[in-house]
Structure formats: structure tokens, C-alpha cells
């Protein structure tokens, strides 16, 4: 009988499920969107039960589409949106509040207050993270502070919390297992990424009892047994778990120090494996754990994210209405030799790494009477590459060497113009894999290691579908980058009160 790995890819806007064969090729997939809840401007929630129902529905649908029956599932793998948290009752399994999503800014003031108390360095030293509302700790604290009786219940050991992987595995196991993996733990701002344990001092700071937290397990290995009633008598193990970006890093085969991937989605996430010795960034990047395949053998990554990546094309399409489809940007950009000096800085939500300027705002600079749609579309595509080049430069400075090659994935990586321009700006080749489902594939690969279907060597051996080689002269590159830096300087700090 043919066997498959069932990979769940629980994202911010949709839940997906894919079945992978022994060659880690996808054979069936299903996807379902779920509602975003915006209780106030800047706040974002998901209903944990709705999220689970959508995940369960696509899980069943993918198996149905493959026509193989549930008993063909040899193992389950989970990749998930990171940092988003759920708090639920240990006995009833009922969430006590909606999940607070990574994008949610409700704890920004609390973070400012903590910064004023001077804990920034302490948090960075232990967790590798910058003190920000983005991470889970202040979100859990907020739920404990705002749900009636929650703090007392937490103290009595009645509540559990976890990132989305924990919540899904709790559901998959019928409430039997409360676990998370190292990659997800490293995004909570409660986990010491050097000592590899929940940190008492930080738990104290946020008033979170350790009894609420999941057991931390390796990203590859039998973490839990699926016990969905009536689903699969074989009871496959959850054998691969990783936060989405680390899953993609693994799926791209970046197992060696210096290897890096960039996911070009709504935003962009550039991660570089730095090996067994954590690198503390001096240039605004995060230090985070990579998917761990052997207990006690951690490896670290540097991470930088760009808030507006492919989303800049959605803006051209939905707000400016000068594009019908994101993919049309490629031929439009190629219809002109350059932007004629036009730069678009898409700082719609401030600028992420390495600038960390929450007061920067979008700017379109260098306009002349000759500027038209093509120049603006091309400047938008180029802006994605410029922002990623800034992150790559920070990474090179922190890691002590420039990128040798960058592996690309995500929706906007389908754009050949963007990939070529990125190669030109970085002066390094960009490799794009044949299978762009690197997140789900990475989680499946972690499970495949556990099943003995693959070794790190066979996983690393998968070839690129297309390589983009830099052709731009060094002088030309420097001129363009200098123009970008000038444009960013004009957009910087724009929205700060006078
Ligand atoms: P996410 O996982 O963040 O939702 P995806 O990886 O699905 O994102 O990518 C979607 C993003 O990619 C959108 O912002 C869209 O504008 C962009 N995109 C999709 N196709 C193209 C294309 N051919 N060229 C440029 N951008 C694209």
C-alpha cells in the first residue's frame, strides 16, 4: 500500500493540508480560509475552535482527494503561524479567549512600559528576540489580566497555553498531549534559547505559571499520537513540528551554517542558518532556533522580516487599481529598462528589520512628468528586493560573510523579474525549487526523517528548478542601492508627532 505524510500548514489567513509521498512530492492538497476578527483598530484575533474546524475539514478533504483512505497516512506533520497564542481550560478543553494573533498590537503600550524598565537587553540575551508585542509573552499576560478569574485559575493549574502547534496537537490527540517544538518555543519570549528551557525570570515578569506551558520536544520525532475519534485506527504519530518560517528553512534544505532562504509572501522572511553557536545580532535581526532533529543538538538562525513584500502588489491592485493580477507586474516591469529614478518605499506599516522604524510611512520619490504606471509597478517590485537586500546586508554584517546563495519561495517568488533583480542587488545567485510548498514540505521532511524515509543527505540533494545569476555591474548596483538608501531616509520617522 502507498503511504503518505499528512502535513498541516496552519497559516494566518487559511488552513491547508497536503499529502506528500515518499519522494516528498505533494499528491493532494486542500485549503480553507477562516475569518479574521478585528475587535479594535490594530487588534487581530482568531476563533481557536473555528481555526481547528477549518484544519480538520482540510485534513479530511486532502485525504479524500488523494483517494487513499486515512490508513495510508503514516505520520502527521504540523507547520504553523508563529507567536499566535491560545489559552484554554485543561479539563474542558475550552479556550477562555480568542487566539491573539502575531499581528495584534494590543500589548504595544505594555512593551513600551517594559522597555522603560530596562529589560530589553535581558530579554534579548535570553530569548534572542527584540522586546515587541509581536511575540507571545505579553499576549498570554493580556489574556490572564483581562479574562475574569483567569489569573487565579492559572495559579490553580487549571489553564494551559500554547502556540497554534500546541493547540492543534492537543485537538489531534483528544486532549492527551500538550507539547510544542523548539522553533515555536523560541518565538514566545519566554524560552531561553541557550539553556533550552522555559525561563523562570521571564515567567515571573509576565506572571505566567510554568504549569500552563507545553512540554518542549524536538521538531522531528514521535511527539504525540493522533487519536481523532473514528478517523484513523492506525493512530499515526505527529512526527514533525515547526513554526512556518523554520519549516520553510528546513524544506529548502538549509542544514549547513551560511545557508539561507527567503520567503516572498505577503511579507518577506529571510532566515540564515548560523549553526550550533548562536549569533547575537548587532543589526536589528532576531536569533531563533532552527528545527531540531536530534535532542540536545540545537542550531540557530538569524531572522529578518520585511512587513510589506508581495502586499505592495496587492496595494497596486486593490487601492491604486493599476494592476489586475499580481503576476502582470512582471511583463510591465520588463517593458521599460529602469524606473527612471523612481523609488517606492512601501513603509505602510513602518519598516521592519533592520530599520525597526515604526514611524516610517510609504513614499513614492523621484517622480517626473514622464513617470507612469510602468515605472510605479517596476518600483514596487524593486522595493521588495531592496528591502530584502537591507536584511541580507544586516545578516552578512552579523554573520561575518555575505550570502553565497539564497533559496527563494512564497507566492511572489514566482515572479522572474523580481528574482533576477534580487540576484542583481545581492550579487549572489537565487535558487528557486520546483516545489514551492516549502513550508508544508519542510514539516513533512521532519516527519520523513523520523519514519526513516529520508536522511539529511537525501533531503539536501533536491535540485533547484531555476537559478537566477547576477548580471548587474558592481557600479550599477551601488548606484541603485544608494538611491534606495536616500529614499528610505526620506520616508523614515515620517509619522512621529512633531
Ligand atoms: P502568504 O503565505 O503570506 O499569504 P503567499 O506566499 O501565498 O503569501 O504569497 C502571496 C503574495 O504574493 C501576495 O502578496 C501577492 O501579491 C504576491 N504574488 C503572488 N503572485 C505574484 C507574482 N506573480 N508576482 C509578484 N507577486 C506575486
How far away, in angstroms, is 309 Cα from ligand 1 center? 8
**Distance in Å from the first CA to the final CA of the chain:** 69
Cβ of residue 415 lying under 6 Å from some atom of ligand 1:
yes
How far away, in angstroms, is 412 Cα from ligand 1 center? 4
Ligand 1 atom nearest 409 alpha carbon: 6
State how far the Cα of 351 lies from the Cα of 248, in Å rounded to an integer: 23
Burial of residue 321 (number of CB atoms within 10 Å: 0-12, 13-18, 19+): exposed
How far away, in angstroms, is 264 Cα from ligand 1 center? 7
Question: Rounded to the nearest 10 degrees, how much is the dihedral formed by the CA atoms of 136, 295, 399, 419?
Answer: -70
**Sequence-distant (≥ 6) Cβ neighbours of residue 196 within 8 angstroms:** 182, 216, 298
How far away, in angstroms, is 435 Cα from ligand 1 center? 15
- In this predicted structure, what is the pLDDT of residue 436? 86
Record the cell numbers describing residue 164, joined without a space.
497554534
Instruction: Write the residue with the smallest CA distance to atom 14 of ligand 1.
Output: 310
Cβ of residue 262 lying under 6 Å from some atom of ligand 1:
no
How far away, in angstroms, is 330 Cα from ligand 1 center? 13
How far away, in angstroms, is 310 Cα from ligand 1 center? 5
pTM of the model: 0.92
Lowest mean pLDDT among 305-314, 343-352, 457-466: 457-466
In SS3 terms, the chain reads as CCCEEEEEEECCCEEEEEEECCCCCEEEEEEEECCCECCCCCCCEECHHHHHHHHHHHHHHHHHHHCCCHHHEEEEEEEECCCCEEEEECCCCCECCCEECCCCCCCHHHHHHHHHCCCHHHHHHHHCCCCCCCCHHHHHHHHHHHCCCHHHHHHCCCEEEEEHHHHHHHHHCCCCCCEEEHHHHCCCCCEECCCCEECHHHHHHHCCCHHHCCEEECCEEEEEECCCCCCCCCCCEEEEEEEHHHHHHHHCCCCCCCCEEEEECCCEEEEEEEECCCCCCCCCCEEEECCCCCCCCCCEEEEEEECCCCHHHHHHHHCCCCCCCHHHHHHHHHCCCCCCCCEEECCECEECCCCCECCCCCEEECCCCCCCHHHHHHHHHHHHHHHHHHHHHHHHHHHCCCCCCEEEECHHHHCHHHHHHHHHHHCCCEEEECCCCHHHHHHHHHHHHHHCCCCHHHHHCCCEEEEECCCCCHHHHHHHHHHHHHHHHHHCCCCCCC
Instruction: Write the residue with the smallest CA distance to atom 9 of ligand 1.
Output: 411
How far away, in angstroms, is 477 Cα from ligand 1 center? 26
Return the residue matching grid coordinates 508627532: 497
Query: Residue 497's pLDDT band (boundaries 50, 70, 90)?
Result: low
- In this predicted structure, what is the pLDDT of residue 238? 96
How far away, in angstroms, is 385 Cα from ligand 1 center? 14
Could you tell which of 319, 323, 326, 379 is best to mutate to test the pocket of ligand 1, judged by most ligand atoms within 8 Å of the CB?
326
What is the distance, to the nearest Å, from the Cα of residue 101 to the centroid of all Cα atoms in its chain?
13
- Asked, as a colleague might, if the bond just before 354 is cis with ω within 30 of 0, I would say yes
How far away, in angstroms, is 498 Cα from ligand 1 center? 36
State how far the Cα of 145 lies from the Cα of 150, in Å rounded to an integer: 7
Domain ranges of the chain: 4-245
More confident residue, 48 or 1: 48
State how far the Cα of 183 lies from the Cα of 181, in Å rounded to an integer: 6
Ligand 1 atom nearest 309 alpha carbon: 14
How far away, in angstroms, is 382 Cα from ligand 1 center? 15
Q: 4-245 domain in CATH 3.30.420.40? A: yes
- In this predicted structure, what is the pLDDT of residue 359? 85
How far away, in angstroms, is 265 Cα from ligand 1 center? 5
Question: Is residue 108 pLDDT above 90, yes or no?
Answer: no
State how far the Cα of 40 lies from the Cα of 42, in Å rounded to an integer: 6
pLDDT (tens digit per residue) in 292-302: 887 778 899 99
Cβ of residue 412 lying under 6 Å from some atom of ligand 1:
yes
Cβ of residue 327 lying under 6 Å from some atom of ligand 1:
yes
Instruction: Write the residue with the smallest CA distance to atom 8 of ligand 1.
Output: 265
User: Percent of the chain beyond pLDDT 70?
Assistant: 100
Find out whether 208 and 214 touch, Cβ atoms under 8 Å.
Answer: no
Cβ of residue 414 lying under 6 Å from some atom of ligand 1:
yes
Instruction: Write the residue with the smallest CA distance to atom 13 of ligand 1.
Output: 310
**Sequence-distant (≥ 6) Cβ neighbours of residue 191 within 8 angstroms:** 127, 185, 197, 198, 199, 216
Q: What is the mean pLDDT of residues 167-188?
A: 96
User: Percent of the chain beyond pLDDT 90?
Assistant: 78
Question: Is residue 251 pLDDT above 90, yes or no?
Answer: yes
How far away, in angstroms, is 130 Cα from ligand 1 center? 27
| Arithmetic mean of pLDDT over the chain | 93
State how far the Cα of 117 lies from the Cα of 119, in Å rounded to an integer: 6
Find out whether 399 and 354 touch, Cβ atoms under 8 Å.
Answer: no
Find out whether 9 and 17 touch, Cβ atoms under 8 Å.
Answer: yes
Ligand 1 atom nearest 317 alpha carbon: 16
How far away, in angstroms, is 262 Cα from ligand 1 center? 13
Cβ of residue 413 lying under 6 Å from some atom of ligand 1:
no
Closest alpha carbon to 340 in 316, 374, 386: 374
How far away, in angstroms, is 140 Cα from ligand 1 center? 31
Record the cell numbers describing residue 36, joined without a space.
479574521
How far away, in angstroms, is 202 Cα from ligand 1 center? 37
Closest alpha carbon to 432 in 408, 463, 460, 416: 408
Query: Residue 372's pLDDT band (boundaries 50, 70, 90)?
Result: very high
Ligand 1 atom nearest 381 alpha carbon: 25
Cβ of residue 265 lying under 6 Å from some atom of ligand 1:
yes
Number of CB atoms found within 10 A of residue 255's CB: 18
Record the cell numbers describing residue 38, joined without a space.
478585528
Cβ of residue 416 lying under 6 Å from some atom of ligand 1:
no
- In this predicted structure, what is the pLDDT of residue 297? 82
Number of CB atoms found within 10 A of residue 279's CB: 19
Find out whether 31 and 15 touch, Cβ atoms under 8 Å.
Answer: yes
Q: What is the mean pLDDT of residues 454-458?
A: 89
Ligand 1 atom nearest 313 alpha carbon: 16
State how far the Cα of 233 lies from the Cα of 243, in Å rounded to an integer: 28
- In this predicted structure, what is the pLDDT of residue 139? 96
Question: Is residue 267 pLDDT above 70, yes or no?
Answer: yes
Cβ of residue 411 lying under 6 Å from some atom of ligand 1:
yes
pLDDT (tens digit per residue) in 7-42: 999 998 899 999 999 999 999 999 999 998 999 888
Cβ of residue 313 lying under 6 Å from some atom of ligand 1:
yes
Could you tell which of 412, 415, 438 is best to mutate to test the pocket of ligand 1, judged by most ligand atoms within 8 Å of the CB?
412
For the chain, what is the radius of gyration of the CA atoms? 22
Question: Rounded to the nearest 10 degrees, how much is the dihedral formed by the CA atoms of 253, 259, 264, 268?
Answer: 130
Ligand 1 atom nearest 11 alpha carbon: 2
Amino acid at each position: 500500500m502507498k503511504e503518505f505524510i499528512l502535513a498541516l500548514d496552519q497559516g494566518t489567513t487559511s488552513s491547508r493540508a497536503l499529502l506528500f509521498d515518499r519522494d516528498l512530492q505533494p499528491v493532494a492538497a486542500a485549503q480553507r480560509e477562516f475569518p479574521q476578527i478585528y475587535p479594535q483598530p490594530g487588534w487581530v484575533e482568531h476563533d481557536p475552535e473555528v481555526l481547528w474546524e477549518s484544519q480538520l475539514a482540510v485534513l479530511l478533504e486532502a485525504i479524500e482527494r488523494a483517494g487513499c483512505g486515512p490508513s495510508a497516512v503514516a505520520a502527521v506533520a504540523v507547520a504553523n503561524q508563529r507567536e499566535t497564542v491560545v489559552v484554554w481550560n485543561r479539563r474542558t478543553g475550552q479556550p477562555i479567549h480568542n487566539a491573539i494573533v502575531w499581528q495584534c498590537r494590543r500589548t504595544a503600550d505594555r512593551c513600551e512600559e517594559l522597555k522603560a524598565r530596562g529589560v530589553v537587553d535581558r530579554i534579548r540575551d535570553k530569548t534572542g528576540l527584540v522586546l515587541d508585542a509581536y511575540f507571545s509573552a505579553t499576549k498570554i499576560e493580556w489574556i490572564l489580566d483581562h479574562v475574569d478569574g483567569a489569573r487565579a485559575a492559572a495559579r490553580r493549574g487549571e489553564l494551559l497555553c500554547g502556540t497554534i502547534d500546541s493547540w492543534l496537537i492537543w485537538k489531534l490527540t483528544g486532549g492527551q498531549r500538550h507539547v510544542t517544538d523548539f522553533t515555536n518555543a523560541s518565538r514566545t519570549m519566554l524560552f531561553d534559547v541557550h539553556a533550552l528551557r522555559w525561563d523562570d525570570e521571564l515567567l515571573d515578569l509576565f506572571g505566567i505559571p510554568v504549569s500552563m506551558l507545553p512540554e518542549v520536544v524536538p521538531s522531528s520525532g514521535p511527539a504525540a499520537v493522533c487519536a481523532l475519534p473514528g478517523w484513523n485506527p492506525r493512530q499515526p504519530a505527529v512526527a514533525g513540528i515547526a513554526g512556518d518560517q523554520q519549516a520553510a528553512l528546513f524544506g529548502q534544505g538549509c542544514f549547513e551554517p551560511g545557508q539561507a532562504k527567503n520567503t516572498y509572501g505577503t511579507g518577506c522572511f529571510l532566515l540564515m542558518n548560523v549553526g550550533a553557536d548562536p549569533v547575537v545580532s548587532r543589526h536589528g535581526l532576531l536569533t531563533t532556533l532552527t528545527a531540531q532533529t536530534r535532542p540536545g543538538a540545537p542550531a540557530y538562525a538569524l531572522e529578518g522580516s520585511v512587513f510589506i513584500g508581495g502586499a505592495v502588489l496587492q496595494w497596486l491592485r486593490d487601492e491604486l487599481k493599476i494592476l489586475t493580477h499580481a503576476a502582470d507586474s512582471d511583463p510591465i516591469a520588463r517593458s521599460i529598462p529602469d524606473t527612471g529614478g523612481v523609488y517606492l518605499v512601501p513603509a505602510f506599516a513602518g519598516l521592519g528589520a533592520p530599520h525597526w522604524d515604526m514611524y516610517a510611512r510609504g513614499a513614492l520619490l523621484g517622480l517626473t512628468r514622464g513617470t507612469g504606471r510602468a515605472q510605479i509597478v517596476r518600483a514596487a517590485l524593486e522595493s521588495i528586493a531592496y528591502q530584502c537586500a537591507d536584511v541580507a546586508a544586516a545578516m552578512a554584517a552579523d554573520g561575518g560573510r555575505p550570502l553565497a546563495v539564497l533559496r527563494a519561495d512564497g507566492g511572489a517568488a514566482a515572479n522572474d523579474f523580481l528574482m533576477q533583480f534580487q540576484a542583481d542587488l545581492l550579487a549572489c545567485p537565487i535558487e528557486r525549487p520546483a516545489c514551492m510548498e516549502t513550508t508544508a514540505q519542510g514539516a513533512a521532511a521532519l516527519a520523513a526523517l523520523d519514519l526513516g524515509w529520508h536522511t539529511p543527505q537525501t533531503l539536501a540533494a533536491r535540485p533547484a528548478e531555476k537559478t537566477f545569476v547576477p548580471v548587474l555591474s558592481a557600479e550599477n548596483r551601488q548606484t541603485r542601492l544608494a538611491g534606495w538608501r536616500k529614499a528610505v531616509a526620506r520616508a523614515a520617522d515620517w509619522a512621529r508627532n512633531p
